[in-house]
A and B are shown apart, each in its own frame.
Chain A
Amino acid sequence: MLLEQVEYVRPQSLDEALEILANDDGAAPLAGGQSLTNVLKNRVASVDVLVDISALGDLAGITRTADGGLSIGACVTYDELDRSAEVRQSHWMLGEVAAHIEDQQIRNKGTIGGNCCLSDPTNNLPPILVALDAVMELRSRSGRRSVEAADFFKGYFATALEPGELLVSITVPQMPERSGAGYASLAVGADAKAMVRAAARVTLDRDHATIVDSRVVLARVAHVPTRDAEAEARLNGADATDDAVRAACAGVADGMQPITDVHGSSEYRRQMAKVMARRAVDQAIAAARGGRNGSSAGGN
């Protein structure tokens, strides 16, 4: 077969899905199928039962939380994120990142949950979710728990999900006032896989002159999105100027061991991580000043 023999079920409720996943360790959730079917087609993994969760109501929709944040169902597609007025209003950059994932066909099917649960280091959404302090809401037959995005991604195609556990939704807290997000990637060719990328979030003081809080998240430098705590520490309290940001980002990724491949060496990637981090922070500052909780540039 194009795929190896595999069973397909479409549970009617979240509980039913969790039940099936709990009982069969050869079962795997199928969301947008944009990665899973490729993986099966290429036969690098095998699955006994595909549990189609894409139509479950509990995993759908974007809602505003009481504290002004967002609760995003795991099966919300990139296209929905892109077009959501709610997302654009409070977390503009999240919609923008989603808008730049590959092509429209993939954006129609691919889901925020699948994008995170796959934990492919080239995936676009994990770094921005870490930068936005997102929290992953997990469910299994035996209960529920919340895991911070920064702790969710464990390694190359590995996450904090336990067997039988589903990501149900992602909570993105409201951004503090005078905050903005930025996102910068380096890829060979339009809409190609990123070689290195960075996501950033900054909060400025009342005068828009000083950075009071920051997140700098690197992707494809290590196998999972990684906060550069030292860079963040250098940024916090620094002037929101080109020079100060440049200085703060000069040490980004030092001490990390990025991969080497045909597109560039480890050392090149390290240099690029500095550049991408700086660009993401610059964007974030501009967005914070623009009062838009987002930016008009970047997202790619």
Chain B
Amino acid sequence: MTITSAPVTGEATKTWSGRSMPRKEDGRLVQGQGAFVDDGGMHGQGYAWFVRSPYAHARIVSIDCGPALAMEGVYAVLTGEEAKAMCEAPFFAIAPPPGSLMQEWPLAVGKVRYQGDAVAVVLADTRETARDAAERVVVDYEPLPAVTDGVAAAEPTTPLLYDEAGTNVAWHGVYDYGDVDWALENADHVVKLDRLHFHRFTSSPLECNGAVVNFNRGTGVVDVLSNYQMPMFAAMVVGPTIGVPMNKFNFVTKDIGGAFGIKIGFYPQIAALALLSKKAGRPAKWTEFRTEHMLSAGHGNERTFLDIEVPVMSDGTILGLKARAFDDAGAYLHYEPLGAVIWSQVVPGCYKLKHVRVDYTEVVTNKCPVVPNRGYSRMQHLWLVERIVDVVAHELGLDAVEVRKRNYVQPEDYPYETPNGCIYDSGDLPRSLDLALELAHVDEWRARQRELGTGSGRRIGIGIGSTLDSGTNNFGQSRIINPELPFSGNGEAAFAKLDLFGEINVNLGTTPQGQGHETTAAQVAADILGVTPEDVTVSTGFNQANNSYVGFSGTYASQFAVSGLGAVMGAAQKLRHQIVKLAAFALQAEEEEIELEGGTARVRGDEERAIPFIGLANMVYTNNAGLPASLLSECDLNARYVYVPPFEVPDTVAKTGNLTLTYASQVHVCVIEVDEETGEVKVLEYAAVDDCGKRINPLVVEGQVHGATGLGIAASLYESLDYDESGQLQEPSFYEYHVGTAMDIPDVACGDIESPSPFTPNGAKGMGEGGGAPLHAVCAALQDALGGGGAVVSESHNHWARVYELVHREPGAPRGVEVITRSGGLANDAASL
């Protein structure tokens, strides 16, 4: 992959913010000087190894820890029953009944519910001893039939994962906006699709999960050093279960080697390690193995859409959509069923769909629990919308570009309110699309496609993926799932401090995993405080004891540029205010006359009257006799600021409200070549236009775009997590699961459009997750290659064998699509709808 550098816009503005500058953190990260979880440890620690179930669904008849405990070097073994006895409650349930009856404990109790479910955990003097001992924990299982199909799981005749819940349905709700029945009755055409399926995959962070946990029985303090990306969520869930109050938790994160949302899912392991440590009286260190990660760390949501109906006018205006969605959450509800509402941040996708009804069912199955995965829950829905738009174009013989442009929310429509009350802040989708088409040289490829004709054995396909990356969540949306939940709004905290010798420190509550927080935080603080980014030391990483944090702190869901930097800006402004006040006193000037430049406060227009930051720090920290009390109380040179985005609590009955603050848009265009003989797909050209408002550091933005693109292309062509009927994962290691590498991913031409957000302190929008645009673009390109009347691309994952099947579909075989055309509908009068 090469970097096609975007024009740098910031230099002209003379601010640090807006400039493409190399990342401050990269030097140490590429020189092996990072501090990752396995680099850390605690005095006297033992090493933990989880005993995991080989069965997808089985009753635990007995567990014999004797042979393991008899081994030299084994400190302790903790079983599920024992762990439960040490707990005050099961993990807090997000779902109301029946989902809340699907209880989870730190280790499996009574039953295992997926291959990889942890039944016990061993602590020993070395990692190797722990592993050997884990093999000697003898578990007697009585296998039960496995439930592996996310749609069949909801049938009343299917075996139950949780007898006490009486159903495998964890949550069900109908999202109904506008009047879809009316639209279906009055549209010129109704396009029907039987089934679309979004597959399971993961993001394979380079660093697997890990934690060192100490339960100090004397002080009651629990220290957790981990690579958890949303520590407060883990603390909130684990605390009440193991009976530890928040002020006795000390969650710490350092560098994190990739997370992608997956690292929101391992709180049960942290709870189990805490109890193991409590039992053994020493810290427990656990570093996950790759196969363990593949089996049990969490997968992305798998979703099946059935009975899709789309009302369309003759001119290509799409009025809305109707579908049934079955989301497969796997065996336990780790962050679910939040996914059952999070998709609704983007109900109409990039389009002005007005009438939408989605009947949404979330089920449990005997598969690895799902956890948020880059593009969490929106990506699945956006894929549905993109498939619909694409299929509509193909079935009605319309141009895929024109249909998109016709239905896009237009630049003049912003702020645009979606049918469920979300506010799209800004954007220019038609221009983004034009730019992407140009960057991908689509005109040339169309000509090449025509030249190639048929009979060459090769086909060219061109596809578009237009998505939204909704950032800065309103956690109030969780109440649409469960009105009893005590959550709403969002926020992030930062500290800015002028230190003893005039140094500037910024502390964040965020947990970056490659998003460059040290750099962008330094850029915005430098602008406010009149220094360079090198002068600002940014401590990232969560630290419950030392850093500033709020309940939502962490790094997830595309929000740092808004909430994280909003907090940094607020804290830096507060600090600036104090510096100015002190300088005005020291220099005998008015505050308005003070300017900050190069680490010095000076009186505007008077070279002689200036004081360096070290002098101001000295006044406060070490030389404060005689300083007026008012100044001392106002200027402690330690400024904390919490950024809180403006949100209301959503309407939980109508399921409406503003669910996210910003909407970055991504328009990707992909050109592929399909080998008809084998079904192999090669990406010939790829372009991505990401409009995330004002970019603080375009280079960092582009890095995120590359990452999201690579992940999406790999997911669409190589990466899939499948279970056989007995619930065995078919790709438990990298032998079977081919992670896209630099050799697979094409060069990405990046283009940028900046539509500043009117709702954020800096005009920026959250970005980084992307909306899974490569999956949509690859599927659309494949559809284009198959041509009108060909098979319908109905799977998000298209490995060679599937592409081969699509290409060689028997003529007359069912296509899974139907168009009903009504004469005398609304007679093309789409404008009145």
Task: Report A-chain residues with C-beta under 8 Å of the C-beta of B718.
Answer: 188-189, 192
Cβ contact within 8 Å between B801 and A1: no
- Asked whether B736 is an interface residue with its Cβ less than 8 Å from the other chain, the reply is yes
Q: Which residue of B lies closest to A264 (CB)?
A: B801
Residue of A1, A2, A263, A275 near B677 (CB, 8 A) is A275
- Asked whether A157 is an interface residue with its Cβ less than 8 Å from the other chain, the reply is no
Residue of A189, A191, A261, A275 near B730 (CB, 8 A) is A261
Cβ contact within 8 Å between B730 and A262: yes
Known: A190-B743, A262-B720. A4 touches B132 (CB 8 A): yes
Q: How many A-B residue pairs have CB under 8 A?
A: 56
A275 to B132 alpha-carbon distance, docked (Å): 47
- Asked whether A271 is an interface residue with its Cβ less than 8 Å from the other chain, the reply is yes
Cβ contact within 8 Å between B804 and A271: yes
A271 to B804 alpha-carbon distance, docked (Å): 10
Task: Report A-chain residues with C-beta under 8 Å of the C-beta of B680.
Answer: 186
- Asked whether A257 is an interface residue with its Cβ less than 8 Å from the other chain, the reply is no
Residue of A2, A193, A271 near B735 (CB, 8 A) is A193
- Asked whether B82 is an interface residue with its Cβ less than 8 Å from the other chain, the reply is no
Task: Report A-chain residues with C-beta under 8 Å of the C-beta of B291.
Answer: 42
* Most interface-central of A1, A188, A190, A265 (chain B CB within 10 A): A188
Known: A193-B735, A262-B736. A275 touches B678 (CB 8 A): yes
- Asked whether B800 is an interface residue with its Cβ less than 8 Å from the other chain, the reply is yes
Task: Report B-chain residues with C-beta under 8 Å of the C-beta of A191.
Answer: 741, 743
Task: Report A-chain residues with C-beta under 8 Å of the C-beta of B132.
Answer: 1, 4
* Most interface-central of A192, A193, A261, A272 (chain B CB within 10 A): A192
A275 to B135 alpha-carbon distance, docked (Å): 45
A43 to B135 alpha-carbon distance, docked (Å): 10
A186 to B127 alpha-carbon distance, docked (Å): 39
Within 8 A of A (CB), among B279-310: 291
- Cβ of A64 to closest chain B Cβ, rounded Å: 35
- Cβ of B128 to closest chain A Cβ, rounded Å: 4
Task: Report B-chain residues with C-beta under 8 Å of the C-beta of A190.
Answer: 741, 743-744
A81 to B811 alpha-carbon distance, docked (Å): 48
Cβ contact within 8 Å between A189 and B678: no
Residue of A1, A4, A272 near B678 (CB, 8 A) is A272
Q: Which residue of B lies closest to A278 (CB)?
A: B677
Task: Report B-chain residues with C-beta under 8 Å of the C-beta of A42.
Answer: 291
Task: Report A-chain residues with C-beta under 8 Å of the C-beta of B731.
Answer: 262
Q: B722-740 toward A: CB 8 Å interface, digit per residue (1/0)?
A: 1000000011000110101
Task: Report B-chain residues with C-beta under 8 Å of the C-beta of A261.
Answer: 730
- Asked whether B799 is an interface residue with its Cβ less than 8 Å from the other chain, the reply is yes
Known: A186-B680, A189-B738. A268 touches B801 (CB 8 A): yes
Residue of A4, A43, A186, A193 near B800 (CB, 8 A) is A186
Q: A189-207 toward B: CB 8 Å interface, digit per residue (1/0)?
A: 1111101000000000000
A263 to B717 alpha-carbon distance, docked (Å): 11
Task: Report B-chain residues with C-beta under 8 Å of the C-beta of A268.
Answer: 801, 804-805
Known: A1-B132, A186-B678, A189-B718. A263 touches B799 (CB 8 A): yes
A1 to B134 alpha-carbon distance, docked (Å): 12
A157 to B306 alpha-carbon distance, docked (Å): 44
Cβ contact within 8 Å between B735 and A263: no
Decide if the interface of chain B is mainly helix, strand, loop or mixed. loop
Q: Which residue of A lies closest to B718 (CB)?
A: A189
Q: A62-101 toward B: CB 8 Å interface, digit per residue (1/0)?
A: 0000000000000000000000000000000000000000
Cβ contact within 8 Å between B799 and A188: yes
A195 to B677 alpha-carbon distance, docked (Å): 15
- Cβ of A68 to closest chain B Cβ, rounded Å: 37
Cβ contact within 8 Å between A263 and B744: no
Task: Report B-chain residues with C-beta under 8 Å of the C-beta of A195.
Answer: 800
A43 to B800 alpha-carbon distance, docked (Å): 32
* Most interface-central of B720, B730, B738 (chain A CB within 10 A): B738
A188 to B127 alpha-carbon distance, docked (Å): 34
Cβ contact within 8 Å between B678 and A188: no
- Cβ of A253 to closest chain B Cβ, rounded Å: 14
A136 to B799 alpha-carbon distance, docked (Å): 37
Decide if the interface of chain A is mainly helix, strand, loop or mixed. loop
A272 to B804 alpha-carbon distance, docked (Å): 10
- Cβ of A40 to closest chain B Cβ, rounded Å: 12
Within 8 A of B (CB), among A241-291: 261-265, 268, 271-272, 275
* Most interface-central of A42, A191, A262 (chain B CB within 10 A): A262
A71 to B740 alpha-carbon distance, docked (Å): 38
Cβ contact within 8 Å between A1 and B738: no
Q: Which residue of B lies closest to A190 (CB)?
A: B743
Q: Which residue of B lies closest to A191 (CB)?
A: B743
A272 to B799 alpha-carbon distance, docked (Å): 14
- Cβ of A81 to closest chain B Cβ, rounded Å: 21
- Cβ of B125 to closest chain A Cβ, rounded Å: 12
Q: A105-133 toward B: CB 8 Å interface, digit per residue (1/0)?
A: 00000000000000000000000000000
A42 to B135 alpha-carbon distance, docked (Å): 12
Q: Which residue of B lies closest to A195 (CB)?
A: B800
- Cβ of B208 to closest chain A Cβ, rounded Å: 15
Q: Which residue of B lies closest to A2 (CB)?
A: B128
- Cβ of B67 to closest chain A Cβ, rounded Å: 15
- Cβ of A216 to closest chain B Cβ, rounded Å: 17
Cβ contact within 8 Å between A263 and B801: yes
A261 to B743 alpha-carbon distance, docked (Å): 24
A43 to B131 alpha-carbon distance, docked (Å): 11
Q: Which residue of B lies closest to A192 (CB)?
A: B738
A275 to B677 alpha-carbon distance, docked (Å): 7
- Cβ of A206 to closest chain B Cβ, rounded Å: 32
A102 to B44 alpha-carbon distance, docked (Å): 41
- Cβ of A274 to closest chain B Cβ, rounded Å: 9
* Most interface-central of B720, B730, B801 (chain A CB within 10 A): B801
Known: A186-B678, A189-B718, A275-B678. A264 touches B743 (CB 8 A): no
Cβ contact within 8 Å between B800 and A264: yes
Task: Report A-chain residues with C-beta under 8 Å of the C-beta of B129.
Answer: 1
A191 to B336 alpha-carbon distance, docked (Å): 36
Cβ contact within 8 Å between B678 and A262: no
Task: Report B-chain residues with C-beta under 8 Å of the C-beta of A189.
Answer: 714, 717-718, 738, 740-741, 744
Task: Report A-chain residues with C-beta under 8 Å of the C-beta of B678.
Answer: 186, 272, 275
Q: Which residue of A lies closest to B804 (CB)?
A: A268
Task: Report B-chain residues with C-beta under 8 Å of the C-beta of A4.
Answer: 132
A128 to B60 alpha-carbon distance, docked (Å): 49
Q: Which residue of A lies closest to B722 (CB)?
A: A262
Task: Report B-chain residues with C-beta under 8 Å of the C-beta of A186.
Answer: 678, 680, 800
Task: Report B-chain residues with C-beta under 8 Å of the C-beta of A263.
Answer: 799-801
Within 8 A of A (CB), among B109-160: 127-129, 131-132, 135
Known: A4-B132, A186-B678. A265 touches B738 (CB 8 A): no
Cβ contact within 8 Å between A188 and B738: yes
Task: Report A-chain residues with C-beta under 8 Å of the C-beta of B799.
Answer: 188, 263-264
Q: Which residue of B lies closest to A189 (CB)?
A: B738
Task: Report A-chain residues with C-beta under 8 Å of the C-beta of B735.
Answer: 193
Within 8 A of B (CB), among A150-196: 186, 188-193, 195
Task: Report A-chain residues with C-beta under 8 Å of the C-beta of B131.
Answer: 1-2
- Cβ of B528 to closest chain A Cβ, rounded Å: 46
Q: A1-28 toward B: CB 8 Å interface, digit per residue (1/0)?
A: 1101000000000000000000000000
A268 to B720 alpha-carbon distance, docked (Å): 18
- Cβ of B132 to closest chain A Cβ, rounded Å: 7
Q: Which residue of A lies closest to B734 (CB)?
A: A192
- Cβ of A31 to closest chain B Cβ, rounded Å: 20
Given A262-B736, A268-B804, list of 18 further CB < 8 A pairs?
A1-B132, A2-B131, A4-B132, A42-B291, A188-B718, A188-B738, A189-B714, A189-B717, A189-B740, A189-B741, A190-B743, A192-B738, A195-B800, A261-B730, A262-B722, A263-B799, A268-B805, A271-B804
Closest 10 CB pairs of A and B: A264-B801, A190-B743, A1-B128, A189-B738, A268-B801, A192-B738, A189-B718, A262-B730, A275-B677, A262-B722
Could you list some 11 contacts between A and B, CB below 8 A?
Answer: A2-B131, A186-B800, A189-B717, A189-B718, A189-B738, A190-B743, A192-B718, A262-B731, A262-B736, A264-B800, A271-B804
